[in-house]
Amino acid sequence: MDQARSAGRINSVFRRFLASESSSGLVLMAVTIIAIITANSGWSAAYFSALQAYIGPLSLLHWINDALMAVFFLLVGLEIKREMLDGQLSSWGRRILPGAAAAGGMAAPALIYAAFNMGDPAALRGWAIPAATDIAFALGVLSLLGKRVPVSLKIFLAALAIIDDLGAVVIIALFYTGNLSLPDLAGAAAVLAVLALLGRWRVNGLWPYLLLGALLWLLVLRSGVHATVAGVLLALTIPLRATPGAPEDDGAASPLHRLEHALHLPVAFLIVPIFGFANAGVSFAGVGLEVLTEPLTLGVAGGLLLGKVIGVFGVTFALVKTRLVDLPAEAIWAQMFGVALLCGIGFTMSLFIGLLAFDDVALQDRVKFGILIGSVLAGLAGFTVLRLARRQVG
């Protein structure tokens, strides 16, 4: 009975997660369109100058990308930890298909990008840009299809994207780190050790974690490692279980559950849209066809559109045909192909990695063009395939 209740609670939490991500994806689509319109209107000068205006030690854009996005990564870390320990990824059987598909879906886009930019060592720094899937955008498109797509495929896509996010965090920490400050790194390690002790002792209050987390963010920012990694590190220290003896209300007494619940709506409907508005705005002034056909642009777009299909669908097909795993319940191959296409929507994380990879604004703009082209084509193609798939569910 307790196991049934636990399974029901996990399923309910995951369904709420899917619903909020789908809605925020639709908001993000609208914000992206507004940002592009603003960047190409009479407001463009004010838009770009406002982002470069300094507020204290950082520009507005850096506050958004380094501070607000650290909160986004905190939520990502909480979701990864919960799903790995107590959710849809809590057993190796559940991890095999989305995990293998995520690995293929990161490797193939990176290889395609590298193939386009093999002759340009500077451009090769952006190899990880098309490797990420934007879960909010992808689930937003799925939500438009209603019951045409089985819930099992939505869960598969969400699980794949969560593992994909974990891979992106590792890539950022390993490959997009600047000159390191050893004293700040040592300070960050000391703070992290204290946080780990709090988690081990199952300290139930959130304020000790959040205050130390703010100090951890500052030290990581100063250390040369990208500041958003602090959000994930903080998440890994927050206990999934409440202090023994604390009253349990369907998991609500757990510090991790409480913080995740508190962050979900602000991140989904405030932080991510602000990030999208600040970074999606790209001016088309003076842009010719030559920009759209440059290797950097094509590498990003091709990696998202083709690489994700090759990696996600190819790995899934191989695993199912060798009978190592089964297709998600009630799903057919056409639907799986459509979901693999939707994995090519790489907006938020791809933009973020692109900003880390290149300091040059012209190169960043080419990255944005590639992301917009690849993501739009992948989204339209995925929606069309899923819309035309004959088998309806429900």
DSSP per residue, 343-378 = TT--HHHHHHHHHHH---HHHHHHHHHHHHHHHHHH
Which carries the bigger pLDDT value, residue 143 or residue 176? 176
Which carries the bigger pLDDT value, residue 328 or residue 211? 211
Reported confidence tier of residue 250, pLDDT bands at 50, 70, 90: very low
Q: What integer is the mean pLDDT of 71-96?
A: 84
Q: Which residues contact 203 (CB under 8 A, 6 or more apart)?
A: 209, 239, 243, 255
pLDDT of residue 176: 86
Q: Which residues contact 56 (CB under 8 A, 6 or more apart)?
A: none
3 state SS of 201: coil
Reported confidence tier of residue 336, pLDDT bands at 50, 70, 90: very high
> Bridge partners of 58?
55
Reported confidence tier of residue 285, pLDDT bands at 50, 70, 90: confident
Residue 348's closest CA among 112, 94, 43, 65? 65
What the block records as the tokens of 307 is 């690489």
Which carries the bigger pLDDT value, residue 380 or residue 155? 380
Q: Rounded CA gap, 83 and 166, in Å?
A: 12
Query: Token match 């590298």: residue?
Result: 114
Say if CB 301 and CB 56 are below 8 A apart.
Answer: no
Say if CB 299 and CB 130 are below 8 A apart.
Answer: yes
> Is the model's pLDDT at 294 over the cut of 80?
yes
Say if CB 345 and CB 138 are below 8 A apart.
Answer: yes
Reported confidence tier of residue 145, pLDDT bands at 50, 70, 90: confident
Backbone φ, ψ for residue 326 (5° rounding)? -110, 155
pLDDT of residue 243: 60
DSSP H or E stretch at residue 112: helix 92-116
AA letter at 111:
L
Which carries the bigger pLDDT value, residue 247 or residue 138? 138
DSSP H or E stretch at residue 210: helix 207-223
Say if CB 367 and CB 126 are below 8 A apart.
Answer: yes
Q: What integer is the mean pLDDT of 175-198?
A: 91
Reported confidence tier of residue 230, pLDDT bands at 50, 70, 90: very high
What the block records as the tokens of 393 is 């569910």
- Please classify residue 376 by burial: count the beta carbons closer than 10 Å to its beta carbon, then call 0-12 exposed, 13-18 middle and 19+ buried: middle
Per mean pLDDT, which of 22-26, 54-58, 346-350 is the most reliable? 54-58
> Is the model's pLDDT at 76 over the cut of 90?
no
3 state SS of 89: coil
> Bridge partners of 55?
58
Say if CB 134 and CB 345 are below 8 A apart.
Answer: yes
Cα atoms in the Cβ-side hemisphere of radius 13 Å centred on 209 = 27
pLDDT of residue 14: 52
Q: Which residues contact 291 (CB under 8 A, 6 or more apart)?
A: 297, 365, 366, 369
pLDDT of residue 89: 77
**Tell me: the pLDDT tens digits for 24-51?**
777 888 898 999 999 999 999 999 999 9
Mean pLDDT of the chain: 86
